[in-house]
Structure 1
């Protein structure tokens, strides 16, 4: 498909419920569970349980209203701020946070993370713990140097960027600019966690094809190094199921600390 026919998530928006159903649900025809659910949850559990990432404030940015990647983080961080770049996604998150009618059901993910932690009999407490940690949901403007403008956020001890850079960056230079904006949210010595996909050009959401920037692992490593990050942990997994809904080849997880 010609890039002119693809939509940009942060400009055109997306159908937030279709996005969750296609990529994060427990429906039988949802083929991405190994990549979008199990892989990041397993790696997040690992990095947060080892103890080398610590602090009080975590800022999470993502290209959709998902929360499964925050369960393990809420064991460490008492304050979590969520940055969204679509009002529909912010509304979807607020619906879940407020236990409103029609909220997306994340039971399958909270059960999975409790099993990872060996606490499968406390699933309700796990969700309540996460909800108590979330202090703000902010709809942001990617064009601003301060993504949360006009709010001024305190610098975070950890930033999780989940899939966002893949769908908002037009080219490699744009990726670098957006990565730097993510970095500017972080304290010196703090950790950036990047979750993304390589060799992708699009993902399908409802009737739309959403733009993805095509790049490889070496580009991500180089980009982080140029911005003063040192990689502490990296895991890469080949796409587990064939589907023409999205054309990525691998999903990756990188945790890096900011040296300058």
Structure 2
């Protein structure tokens, strides 16, 4: 398939449940456990446990209907505001937060978090805390000056962006443009956590291939620094997975804060 014919994540429709099942589930055939679950959760747990990143509002700008990257964060923020570009993702998240029949099962992630944090006895409390924190799921338009128009969001203490920037960006300029938009949602001194695939040119959901912008650690660092961020931590994990679903060569985790 010609890369020019790949679909765009935020423009074309996609099966949000299939995305979760193929990349984030506990199914036997799901091969991305280390890349999509273990590596991010370990780094998130360590980062938040340090106690420097906390406050009133956490904004989540991430791909699909993910929940697992918010388990560590929910202990340190009063409110988590989740921004989504598609109604289907909002419906999927609402199904989980409201404990409706047919909601995606995140129990394997709750257990993983509890085990890594050494708090297995608090397994149920963890899910309750995440659900209670995620009371605001808001539709957004990434191309508008105010992405949540007509809603005006208060400045955030922290933003987490997981696997979104490479999915929505066409090229380097596009990546920097979206990063700048995200940065405007932060308070001075606010924190930004980026989790992303490196070297990826496409990802597959069902039978459809979607464009992804390929970049490396050096580009990620320079882009953040160019937008006025100071990098506090950066970890890269090379992937050992070979799959037709996605062609990434690694995962990056960056924690940074915005200059005051």
- Between the aligned partners of 1:258 and 1:240, the Cα distance in structure 2 is 33
- Between the aligned partners of 2:173 and 2:259, the Cα distance in structure 1 is 22
CA deviations 1:12-60 (Å, max 9, x no partner) are 0210010000000000000001000111111000000011212111000
- Between the aligned partners of 2:188 and 2:212, the Cα distance in structure 1 is 30
State TM-score, norm by structure 2.
0.98
User: Which deviates more from structure 2 when the two are superposed, residues 187-196 or residues 1-10?
Assistant: 1-10
Partner of 1:210: 210
1:76-91 matched pairs, under 5 angstroms: 76-91=76-91
CA drift at 1:4: 2.3
Partner of 1:185: 185
- Between the aligned partners of 1:153 and 1:251, the Cα distance in structure 2 is 30
CA deviations 1:187-210 (Å, max 9, x no partner) are 110100001011110001101111
CA deviations 1:201-245 (Å, max 9, x no partner) are 000110111110011111111111111000000110001321121
Other structure's SS at 1:159 match: strand
How many residues align? The count is 260
Unaligned 5+ segments in structure 1 are none
Unaligned 5+ segments in structure 2 are none
1:134-213 matched pairs, under 5 angstroms: 134-213=134-213
- Between the aligned partners of 1:2 and 1:39, the Cα distance in structure 2 is 32
- Between the aligned partners of 1:146 and 1:163, the Cα distance in structure 2 is 22
State TM-score, norm by structure 1.
0.98
1:1-260 matched pairs, under 5 angstroms: 1-260=1-260
- Between the aligned partners of 2:148 and 2:126, the Cα distance in structure 1 is 28
Other structure's SS at 2:145 match: coil
State the Cα RMSD in Å.
0.9
Moved over 2 A (4+): none
CA deviations 1:73-127 (Å, max 9, x no partner) are 0110111000111111111000001111110000000011011111112211110
CA drift at 1:3: 2.3
